[in-house]
Amino acid sequence: MSQPANTAFSELADHFYQHGWVWVPQFLPTALNHALLEDLHLQALQQAGVGRQQDHNVNAQIRRDQTAWLDGRSLAQQGYLAMMAELQQWFNQRFFMGLFDFECHYARYQQGDFYQKHVDAFRGRSNRVLTTVSYLNSVTQGGELQLFDEEEQLLTTIKPEAAGLVIFESERFPHQVLPAIDERFSIAGWFRRNNSLNGLVDPGS
């Protein structure tokens, strides 16, 4: 992490350690946020899928966002992936999490789009360890992210704010995106652990 971010980050680390999730306002430098938003608009966004089955009728009842995976093809993407690589190292040093790699996609929610309550990883069956969502624009209404505890009690409601980042343990928190009113742009990502054992190839999630 850069110097000024360092101080703020130790408080954020405490929050993450105690709760398993944390909201980091102003995570992205403004210039990078703008570059990512421009880059997002150059991508061919596709109707998002859920799991491995690509039954789009079923999917549309669960989620309606449009996505494009980042692969480092632009400077903006490289900048973002570099920041997340630093974050990965920081989590590994601080919490011994054994994070191994990172995957992420742009997402656009247009008016009425939502993502129903879900978890990003099933205990013992996935290598997704930490979920990250960076918000690329601020909304005035709609599109809030809600996190729930394991008893399905609402923990927090996060209103997307440009440059803000939310991080949470992927297995632990059911969450949902309320129907968007303002258009909403984000990057959803997952730090993964390498679950390969005894020479078996990790099938992924």
Q: Are strands 145-148 and 165-169 parallel, antiparallel or unpaired?
A: unpaired
Nearer of residues 39 and 113 to ligand OGA, judged by Cβ:
113
24 is a contact residue toward ligand OGA (CB under 6 A) = no
For the chain, give me the number of helices (H) and strands (E)? Answer: 4, 11
Q: What is the helix, strand, coil percentage profile of the chain, to 5?
A: 30, 30, 40
State in angstroms the smallest separation of the CB of 187 from ligand OGA. Answer: 9
* Ramachandran class of 124: left when φ > 0, alpha when ψ lies in -120 to 50, beta otherwise: left
* Out of 12, 35, 145, 165, the residue judged to bind ligand OGA by CB under 6 A: 145
163 is a contact residue toward ligand OGA (CB under 6 A) = no
Do 147 and 78 form a contact (C-beta atoms < 8 A)?
no
- In angstroms, the Cα distances linking 76 to 17, 144, 152, 159 are 30, 25, 37, 24
DSSP single-letter state for residue 142: B
Do 69 and 24 form a contact (C-beta atoms < 8 A)?
no
120 is a contact residue toward ligand OGA (CB under 6 A) = yes
40 is a contact residue toward ligand OGA (CB under 6 A) = no
Nearer of residues 152 and 201 to ligand OGA, judged by Cβ:
152
Which residues of this chain interact with Mn ion, rule CB under 5 A? 120
Residue 156, classified by CB atoms within 10 Å of its CB into exposed (0-12), middle (13-18) or buried (19+), is middle
State in angstroms the smallest separation of the CB of 10 from ligand OGA. Answer: 25
115 is a contact residue toward ligand OGA (CB under 6 A) = yes
133 is a contact residue toward ligand OGA (CB under 6 A) = yes
Nearer of residues 94 and 125 to ligand OGA, judged by Cβ:
125
169 is a contact residue toward ligand OGA (CB under 6 A) = no
Q: From residue 176 to residue 195, what is the string marking binding to ligand OGA with x (rule CB under 6 A)?
A: -x--------x-x-------
Residues of this chain that interact with ligand OGA (CB under 6 A) are: 107, 115, 120, 133, 145, 175, 177, 186, 188
